[in-house]
Amino acid sequence: MTADILSKVEGPRAGRLSRLRARHGGLRPLLLGLVLPLGVIATATLVRLIVRGDPWEMAGPPLLWPGEDDQFPLGTDALGRDILTGIAAGAPVSLLIGLVSAALTVGLGMTIGALGGYYGGRVDAVLMRVTELFQTVPQFILAVVLVAIIKPSVATIVIAIGVVSWPPTARLMRAQFLALREREFVQAARTLGMGDWQLIRTQFLPNALPPIIVMSSLTVALAIQTEAALAFMGLGDPNVMTWGGMVGAGQQDLMGAWYVCGLPGLAILVTVLAFNLLGEWLNDALNPRLGER
């Protein structure tokens, strides 16, 4: 009897894994969505531990091409700063901004969406009007205005990205809560006398979190892009080396020394791609309807 129970439990899991493999043409592309983001984070950490120089130091002749001097494997910029050291120093900053901004975005969006979806009525109406107000202004323009008004810094950029990026998460969370309000298990828990917080914590959140987790990985990628765009426009923290700031500083040499912009831009591209693939992987792994297809 125990074997029958185990087979029933393991059967759906094995079937889902088989469907995931079939959908992505094998297990390797599927695992890429998980391995690549972890590889990016590990590589960024390892490179920074190995390359400990000052990214602002004028270490060599200006505009050395990659491979031209063994001392500067990725070349130098117009001021003679080592590009490898800059990329290594900018990696933790860009990743930190992306992760913390995403956490702030998800926190705000989940709170507002959960309150609106759970209580409904006037609470939902007021919160959704606030959400629509933020959505009427393009996110990047609002972020530019916020950073320009306040002194540009890492904290300012994180707050600005979080403030402008939460509405999609709030709408998704609200939709999840609205769909769960009338479910039988929620009604049964309410009948048993569970309070609002206990209902939200034990019944709503566990069932509403999977799509939010997927969106959070995509939010990290969007935050890294937004920070890079702000730094490119000169609205980054002038005291902190970031990939976007390196791209912005090298734009004047784009025609004659494209690598000054291209190499940090490639780092941004790979990182954003990694988190997008992670979002796709999480969507396939957590999608409850995958087993129906």
pLDDT in tens, the chain (293 residues): 434 433 333 334 444 545 555 554 444 555 666 777 778 888 888 887 888 788 888 888 999 999 888 889 999 998 899 999 999 988 888 888 989 999 999 999 999 999 999 998 899 999 999 999 998 888 899 999 999 888 888 899 999 999 999 999 999 999 999 988 888 888 888 888 888 888 888 889 888 888 898 888 889 989 988 988 998 888 888 888 889 888 888 888 878 889 999 999 999 998 888 888 888 777 777 765 544 44
For residue 17, give both structure tokens: 């894994």
How far apart, in Å, are the Cα atoms of 214 and each of 69, 102, 220? 43, 12, 11
**243 Cα distance to chain centroid:** 16
| Residues 6+ away with beta carbon under 8 Å from 239 | none
Note the maximum CA span of the chain.
Answer: 76
pTM tops 0.75: yes
Q: What's the burial of 48, exposed, middle or buried (CB within 10 Å: 0-12/13-18/19+)?
A: middle
Number of H helices, E strands in the chain: 12, 0
Fold classification of 2-292 is: MetI-like fold (1.10.3720)
CB 290 within 8 A of CB 19: yes
Q: Which of 53, 51, 72 is nearest to 61 (CA)?
A: 72
